[in-house]
Structure 1
Amino acid sequence: MTADGEEVAVLDAFRRWGYLQADLDWLGRLAPAEHPELPAAGDGVAAARRFYCGTLAVEFMHLPDPARRAWIQERMEAPAPDVDRRTLLDQLMRATIFEQVLQTKYLGNKRFSLEGLEALIPVLSAMLETASGHDTPSAVLGMSHRGRLNVMAHIVSIDYADLLAGFEDVDPRSIMGAGDVKYHRGATGALCFPGGRVIAIHLASNPSHLEAVNPVMMGRTRAKQDRQGRDRNQVVPILMHGDAAFAGQGITAETLNLAGLDGFDVGGTLHVIVNNLIGFTAEPRALHSTRFASDLAKRLPIPVFHVNAEDPEAAVRGARLAADYRYAFASDVVLDLIGFRRHGHSEIDDPTLTQPRLYAAIQERPPLWESYAARIEADGERVRALAAEIRQEVSAAKERAGGLTEIPLMRRLPAYWDGFVGGAYRPALEVPTGIDTAEIELVGDHLARLPRAFEVHPKARRLLDQRHEMARGERPIDFGMAEVLAYGSLVRAGVPVRISGQDSRRGTFSHRHLVLLDGRTGEEHYLLEGLAAPPAFFEIYDSALSEAAVLGFEYGYSRDYPEALVAWEAQFGDFANGAQVIFDQFVTAAEDKWGLLSGLVVLLPHGFEGQGPEHSSARIERFLQLAAEDAIQIAQPTTAAQHFHLLRRQALRKWRKPLIVFTPKSLLRHPAAASARAAFGRERFLPVMPERQVERAERILLCTGKLAHELRAEREKRGAGATAIVALEQLYPFPRHELAAELDRFSEAREILWVQEEPANMGALFFVVPRLEPLTRGRHVRTVKRSPSASPATGSPKAHALEQQALLDLAFS
């Protein structure tokens, strides 16, 4: 091999493995690792080490695209660009002194200090300035508690006094039972740059459930981008992660997987791992099985930049490279910012109990701004004056914060939220939801039109023909057609519709079929394409096999597209608990904690049909346990028309609350659940489905879902004409007035029974019965249910049939 060839081989080895010997941690916790392909000396080694083994390193040779590798090589092997050292020093000083003043003024308060990773502030500033240079007008940020107050102050530009009001805890009575801690709250602001450029910033509210905000922030970004012509450069997403959480939380992998999927692409997310090489008290060897917490990201073809946070100039260079890469290739990219944590996990925690030697070294380490000022030989007099000025500024803000009478609202809702409301339910919020026959026929005719020479599957052809007959009034309308009518009529009225879920285009139970495939060419045809009146659109996506990330994404999307009907569908309702954190922390509690509304629709197939414990229950009881303060809506429609009116009501009225719908399985094509065309013209959804066949009753059976149809069939079989069957179509908000009126219709009935398929420790029993008893005018309420059970349902179809018949027998005995 020639000398030139040897130098190329050496350089290539360092491109591939140089990051293993980079100078990334002054504490020696990431000591350089030997690799057999990395020579210790020889021609070209010094230059290669300078490019790839300094305080900025990169993993990129796993990228399959040569153009992307070449892009990174060119920039890593070029001289480092100049940095505005004075601005950088000022940023570091503000970040550190802000924390120091809080430590003295609010001793014993948790704030989750950024000290040890103050370089995050210039890193974010550099990323946002780069984005602004690419003509991006706004950014959405997601992060956990570590350094959040610092980011709010120095990146989102929130006034110090507004931030410190959370420490002063002013006006606690205004948020009793509600609100959230200061390091979870969201904020809206802007960051200005030299030359007059400004980028608007929204920092998303988040819970302490680490990484849960990731898909929410991506969904919000996608919605904001879609509002602006679907230009993925109009909004840039930046996610900050802790090192332990990035490696350890499964939702991180789920969210990363969404990056390249058509329905979830945001043009690339900038990931910053705020890496202090510790998780509460656990060290890296207990937290991840690889050298770097970032290694999870290498499952995707994205680069990972590692940078020593104690070299702020390298950190800024890495930030700019990461941002430019995102714009060059519309790709995710990771910046692993490696520093330390000056205090314990929180400021009231003593880290010397578990890391005594580490914290002995940290206590001797001067603040980064001091060492950087010495390195660049900054003007000492100016630095001292600025430090005093910052201390005075933060101290004065504390005094102003103490004089506030309420905690300031640090976020501003965009104008597109004008007119939408939350709070308690009021009947005045109701709107008509019916459509006339002409509209039904128009949508039905549109569904029947296929592109010329489109070769449709015979079963799909039969379904289309049946739906056309339904629209013409020649057969009752089933659940599948009712849903399509709801979507079609909404988009025609200018309401955008977006749906995603596992297999949602066809539907788990083959009931939807809103996207058809040409059997010969594979071409796709969207049945509702061309029906939307601008600015409306109709989108439906088969999602990744994920519950938490996809539900989080759709929740986030609904937050920034309030006028749209946004729905997530579980393959079976049983699997919704894979997203329990999103339900608990965002969907049901966001209004109470953060004052944030959402109109998300959640479709959960539910029903006991002999399919076993994993395919029977969407856990109605868990959602009812979360129901309070009119924060959510919970419904279980028993007819196709009810499902239609429910979906249209959610889209058309201005009351924005998440809607949980327990959807049917066997009822999708059941004749008893189909509705006459006239039912779609009535005014609205009925929270209580009244008894229509019985005039006088001795017994009233109350139930939800498909059980209503089974009870009616049993009544007919037994000739039990004195039994009224009433279905609760809406469980929450509880329809007290409507139910009371229906019970009063049958005042002569001496027995009232609550009947449910679910075991006694599940279902709606615990929720409904206490609310039912005050409405009975002294009549006793008896319950019929399965025996208490640790799992929802039996795995034996025959045992299921016996149990179901036993329920029916008890209801009529």
Structure 2
Amino acid sequence: MKEKNYNKIINESWINPINQEYLENIYQKYLKNRNSIDLFWKKKFDNFEQNKNINKKQINFKKNSFFLNSKKVYKILNFFRKKGHKYSNINPLNKKNYKKKKKLLNYSYFNILNKDINKKISIKDNLNSIKTFCNINKFIKWLKKKYCHTIGFEFSHISLKKEKKWIQNYIEKKWIKKKFCIKKKKNILQSIIYSETFEKYINSKYPGYKRFSLEGNDSLIPMLHETIYFSIKKKILNFYIGMAHRGRLNVLINVLGKSSKKLFKEFNGKNFNNLNNGDVKYHLGFYSKIITKYGTGKLNLEYNPSHLEIINPVIMGISRSYLDSLNTFDTNKVLPIMIHGDASFIAQGVIQETLNLSQTPGYTVGGSIHIIINNQIAFTTSKINNMRSSYYSTDIAKMIESPVFHVNSDDPEACIFSIQMAIKYRIKFKKDVFIDLIGYRRNGHNESDDPTVTQPLMYKMIKNHPTIKNIYSKKLIDEKIITENQIKQIISNYRKILDSGSIVSGNYNFLKLIPIKKNKYINKNIYKKKIKKNEIKKIYKKVNTLPKNLNIHPLVKKIYSDRINMINLEKKLDWGASETLAYAYLLKNGISCRISGEDVIRGTFFHRHAIIYDQKNEKKYSPLKNVKNGKFFIWNSVLSEEAVLAFEYGYSLRNKNILTIWEAQFGDFSNVAQVVIDQFISSGQEKWNQTSGIVLFLPHGHEGQGPEHSSARIERYLQLCSKKNLNLCIPTTASQIFHLLCKHVFNKRTTPLIIFSPKSLLRNPLSKSLFSEIYKTNFKKIIFNEKLLKNKKINKIILCSGKIYYELFEYKIKFNIKNSLLIRIEQLYPFPKKEILKIFNYNNINIKNVIWCQEEPQNQGSWMYIKNCLEKILYKKISVKYIGRSTSPSSSTGNVYVHRFNQFEIIKKVFEK
């Protein structure tokens, strides 16, 4: 047989290292008995045996294979799949190091012998098609193109094989090979030109002003354009963006279509369109409508304080709110886009909390697209070991097994590829994807900062490094796609748009941007309608009658049995029954309810039981789901306050036709989420004219349980109150919580509501309410015995709030004290001035003493606030005396006996003459 005929035989597809073990078994059978195998294989091996000595070549599957051993092949392949990102050209400032590392990866690095370097290589891809290479060098070259180019693909930490296979197949089939059309390349270049020109324009117009330039990571702009365009093509039409200040002005102008006229007014300090204090220009949000040939979408850049990463759970909450409002929960209707800084992303704990939320059922949004603007420096810190303890700033993403694409910002086409791949992955697997956009920061942290003071060598390198615009322009000029004159014309036209104060509506694949205003939602004031006894009774029975086939825990069964008896036997309602009735009444009136927090389903204090668990099979039953017209959601959250509260705040921003409640396990723990309370809940309306109707349940009350289980820090919330920005209430009866929640929802003015809810008071018989108080009364800002106003013996007014009222009341009754009028203030802010004055102005009583009594230390609680309010309305005619615990750096004692002794002494002192 001629040599070419022989080669034809050995090159047949069935002779492949992938099939080697199988072939060897058949061959051994053939050698023993040629008639024992299939006719097909018999003919094949007969043919080999006849020609095996041609040109002194012998076919031996074990010793002299013409293919490299498959174990070695897959070992090399897996090395590049797992570690190729560490040898990739992803750092625009470190090309020399990349070339050195890449050069190391040759056949000798993988212990391939000289005699094997010309052997063929065969691999099977994830679709079972076979790819062959003529030698090891060709194979390694191909792998370097795929895994060591300008994208470092990091995905080996993913445990699900189907996800890994999808990623591998996408990279090995499409990366490098994927070509963009001329029009697309021009669009990418135009976006980069716009980005760089904008930064230079602002710098020349307002030199030294803070703008937190994007220069060095300009590829972000075409990436966002592509995200919007490609997503709309995939029928995703709603986008929520969260980002800190780096590049924000650039995004506002070039991605959202904010007019330069508006921006320049903000630079000039002439934007006085509202009476609020406002915020700096690089914290402001913006909303746009995006028109493409594939459909029209909505783009939302949310307001963000300087607490960089706190916006991320807010974005998730807004996105989830939209998804929950749909008839069918479809995550492909919305895309959260989160833009981070490299140093803050790895350093701030809220990122870990947010990622931990991302796949939990009550908080998932079907995955977010994360873009890390990695400029390799945090203000003045650039040494990696000072910024983090991990290899990459994105290593935190591994905790949820999401892929990470490390992309060289100097290669805009790689950036666009990574975005397309990320969106496809997100749609398919409903998980977060992270793009580490590695560039640099051309200027200082802000434009008045000189970075050469702390990073002289780094900034010497940056100064000599060409901009992304110059790099990509040269590439397209070399490809004869564009000319230098055309580039100059693009710059000139763009500057004219900025000069005229117009909207930049880019030509990126026909993206047209139209700024829009958010409509304010006004609730229908259903609360003013009279509550009918029979109707509310029917609703009550519906949510408290359980199926007979449900195997209920004895304690829970008693709670629901007692609730039914409250109606049937006309007993008083407790807190849990009244709270549940409020949700049922709202649902009946078309208002949805969402409650979340640690252990909220059962309730920390065993009072709620919104879902009942069958004791034999753990099936869940939710009585409130039986009430139609509104949706009822209740979720036990992860053990987190900051991210969960931020999520719920975001949830409350858009869909106003819903009651959104976050409950702290103990009110004390809300201080872990203080940034959310300070920067969003209390000040969002003042800074951004952004309203929220979120409700916070903060269990509060001193029972001797220690300094972390007593105080919701009432004093801190009172300190944040101004211009009616919050409602602060401390209801003490079952009917009060019903009326408070209904009043809050149906109030036309949307304001956050802070409820200092009870603990031991949940089961105090004195806090129960008659059923008639549900349908006959309303929320009372203050509660007192009005009949006592006619008692001329009254000469002392005792003001208080919360559970201490009941201790004062019991002491008063026990010792038959008749000269004192007890008043509990149920609404702390806004202060019930009219209601208090009405009492003091009553003719019959002659007030000699006014006492404020509280169980909190004197430097805490409501005392300083109440003192200030009373002095204003009483004009110092009557002095207000404080009775309570003395000042303390801690909120409470942890010794129950010390607590009880101090509590008794306070109560006794109040009634001393």
Aligned residue in 1 for 2:839? 742
Aligned residue in 1 for 2:681? 587
Q: Which amino acid aligns with 2:495?
A: R
Give the CA deviation at 1:743: 2.7
Match of 2:664 among 570, 592, 614: 570
Match of 2:771 among 677, 680, 697: 677
Give the CA deviation at 1:335: 0.7
- Compared with structure 1, are the counterparts of its residues 559 and 459 closer, same or farther at alpha carbon in structure 2 (3 Å cutoff)? same
Aligned residue in 1 for 2:653? 559
Superposition map of 1:77-156 within 5 A = 77-80=172-175, 81-83=178-180, 84-156=184-256
Matched, 1:668 2:747: no
Q: Which amino acid aligns with 1:184?
A: H
Matched, 1:358 2:458: yes
Structure 1 residues 592-616: Cα deviation after superposition (integer angstroms, max 9, x where no partner): 0000101100000000000010100
| Contact residue 442 and residue 462 of structure 2 kept, 8 A | yes
Give the CA deviation at 1:521: 0.7
Aligned residue in 2 for 1:779? 878
Give the CA deviation at 1:72: 0.5
- Compared with structure 1, are the counterparts of its residues 470 and 327 closer, same or farther at alpha carbon in structure 2 (3 Å cutoff)? same
Match of 1:714 among 765, 788, 811: 811
| Contact residue 440 and residue 471 of structure 1 kept, 8 A | no
Match of 1:612 among 689, 706, 710: 706
Unaligned ranges ≥5, structure 1? 401-409, 422-428
Give the CA deviation at 1:532: 2.3
- Compared with structure 1, are the counterparts of its residues 263 and 399 closer, same or farther at alpha carbon in structure 2 (3 Å cutoff)? closer
Give the CA deviation at 1:176: 6.7
What is the CA RMSD across the aligned residues, in angstroms?
2.2
Give the CA deviation at 1:418: 3.5
Aligned residue in 1 for 2:265? 165
Give the CA deviation at 1:438: 1.7
Superposition map of 1:363-512 within 5 A = 363-377=463-477, 378-397=482-501, 412-415=516-519, 417-419=520-522, 431-432=527-528, 435-472=531-568, 474-512=570-608
Aligned residue in 1 for 2:436? 336
Give the CA deviation at 1:29: 9.2
**Secondary structure at the counterpart of residue 308 of structure 2:** coil
Match of 2:390 among 290, 297, 303: 290
Give the CA deviation at 1:682: 2.5
Alpha-carbon separation, structure 2, partners of 1:51 and 1:593: 48
Alpha-carbon separation, structure 1, partners of 2:473 and 2:396: 36
- Compared with structure 1, are the counterparts of its residues 774 and 157 closer, same or farther at alpha carbon in structure 2 (3 Å cutoff)? closer
| Contact residue 257 and residue 515 of structure 2 kept, 8 A | no
| Contact residue 85 and residue 147 of structure 2 kept, 8 A | yes
Q: Which amino acid aligns with 2:562?
A: Q
**Secondary structure at the counterpart of residue 149 of structure 1:** helix
> Which structure would you say has the larger RCO, counting Cα contacts within 8 Å and 6 or more residues apart?
1
Q: Which amino acid aligns with 1:180?
A: D
Match of 1:526 among 622, 632, 636: 622
Aligned residue in 1 for 2:142? 47
Alpha-carbon separation, structure 2, partners of 1:764 and 1:617: 12
Give the CA deviation at 1:31: 4.6
**Secondary structure at the counterpart of residue 335 of structure 2:** strand
Structure 1 residues 139-168: Cα deviation after superposition (integer angstroms, max 9, x where no partner): 111100000111111211222222222112
Match of 1:23 among 69, 89, 114: 89
Match of 1:731 among 828, 848, 853: 828
Match of 2:642 among 537, 548, 559: 548
Aligned residue in 2 for 1:314? 414
Give the CA deviation at 1:196: 5.3
| Contact residue 795 and residue 820 of structure 2 kept, 8 A | yes
- Compared with structure 1, are the counterparts of its residues 291 and 434 closer, same or farther at alpha carbon in structure 2 (3 Å cutoff)? farther
Aligned residue in 1 for 2:320? 222
Give the CA deviation at 1:65: 1.2
- Of stretches 129-138 and 611-620 in structure 1, the one that deviates more from structure 2 is 129-138
Aligned residue in 2 for 1:247? 346
Alpha-carbon separation, structure 2, partners of 1:492 and 1:198: 35
Superposition map of 1:164-243 within 5 A = 164-172=264-272, 178-193=277-292, 195=293, 197-229=295-327, 230-243=329-342
Structure 1 residues 550-571: Cα deviation after superposition (integer angstroms, max 9, x where no partner): 1111111110111111100000
| Contact residue 157 and residue 191 of structure 1 kept, 8 A | no
- Compared with structure 1, are the counterparts of its residues 197 and 82 closer, same or farther at alpha carbon in structure 2 (3 Å cutoff)? farther
Aligned residue in 1 for 2:128? none
| Contact residue 447 and residue 468 of structure 1 kept, 8 A | no
Q: Which amino acid aligns with 1:213?
A: I
| Contact residue 130 and residue 324 of structure 1 kept, 8 A | no
Matched, 1:3 2:68: yes
Q: Which amino acid aligns with 2:316?
A: M
Q: Which amino acid aligns with 1:270?
A: I
Segments of 4+ in structure 1 off by > 4 A? 29-39, 174-177, 410-415
Give the CA deviation at 1:436: 3.2
Matched, 1:647 2:741: yes
| Contact residue 21 and residue 31 of structure 1 kept, 8 A | no
- Compared with structure 1, are the counterparts of its residues 560 and 175 closer, same or farther at alpha carbon in structure 2 (3 Å cutoff)? closer
Structure 1 residues 513-534: Cα deviation after superposition (integer angstroms, max 9, x where no partner): 010100001100012112122x
- Compared with structure 1, are the counterparts of its residues 412 and 620 closer, same or farther at alpha carbon in structure 2 (3 Å cutoff)? farther
Structure 1 residues 71-99: Cα deviation after superposition (integer angstroms, max 9, x where no partner): 11111112432222111111100010011
| Contact residue 885 and residue 902 of structure 2 kept, 8 A | yes
The structure with more radius of gyration = 2
Give the CA deviation at 1:431: 4.4
Q: Which amino acid aligns with 1:27?
A: L
Alpha-carbon separation, structure 2, partners of 1:54 and 1:792: 58
Alpha-carbon separation, structure 2, partners of 1:9 and 1:751: 87
Alpha-carbon separation, structure 1, partners of 2:260 and 2:371: 24
Alpha-carbon separation, structure 1, partners of 2:474 and 2:861: 67
Q: How many residues align?
A: 792
Q: Which amino acid aligns with 1:710?
A: E
Q: Which amino acid aligns with 2:850?
A: I
Q: Which amino acid aligns with 1:469?
A: N
**Secondary structure at the counterpart of residue 700 of structure 1:** strand
Aligned residue in 2 for 1:67? 162
| Contact residue 574 and residue 616 of structure 1 kept, 8 A | yes
Q: Which amino acid aligns with 1:379?
A: T
Matched, 1:755 2:820: no
- Compared with structure 1, are the counterparts of its residues 398 and 747 closer, same or farther at alpha carbon in structure 2 (3 Å cutoff)? farther
Give the CA deviation at 1:780: 1.7
Structure 1 residues 178-220: Cα deviation after superposition (integer angstroms, max 9, x where no partner): 1001000000013444x35432200000100011111111100
- Compared with structure 1, are the counterparts of its residues 68 and 171 closer, same or farther at alpha carbon in structure 2 (3 Å cutoff)? closer
| Contact residue 92 and residue 409 of structure 2 kept, 8 A | no
Matched, 1:539 2:642: no
Aligned residue in 2 for 1:424? none
- Of stretches 580-589 and 285-294 in structure 1, the one that deviates more from structure 2 is 285-294
- Compared with structure 1, are the counterparts of its residues 433 and 360 closer, same or farther at alpha carbon in structure 2 (3 Å cutoff)? farther
- Compared with structure 1, are the counterparts of its residues 199 and 442 closer, same or farther at alpha carbon in structure 2 (3 Å cutoff)? same
Structure 1 length-normalised TM: 0.94
Q: Which amino acid aligns with 2:496?
A: Q
**Secondary structure at the counterpart of residue 754 of structure 1:** strand
Give the CA deviation at 1:131: 1.1
Q: Which amino acid aligns with 1:580?
A: Q
Aligned residue in 1 for 2:800? 703
Aligned residue in 2 for 1:766? 864
Give the CA deviation at 1:175: 5.5
Alpha-carbon separation, structure 2, partners of 1:248 and 1:30: 29
Alpha-carbon separation, structure 1, partners of 2:549 and 2:343: 55
Give the CA deviation at 1:739: 1.2
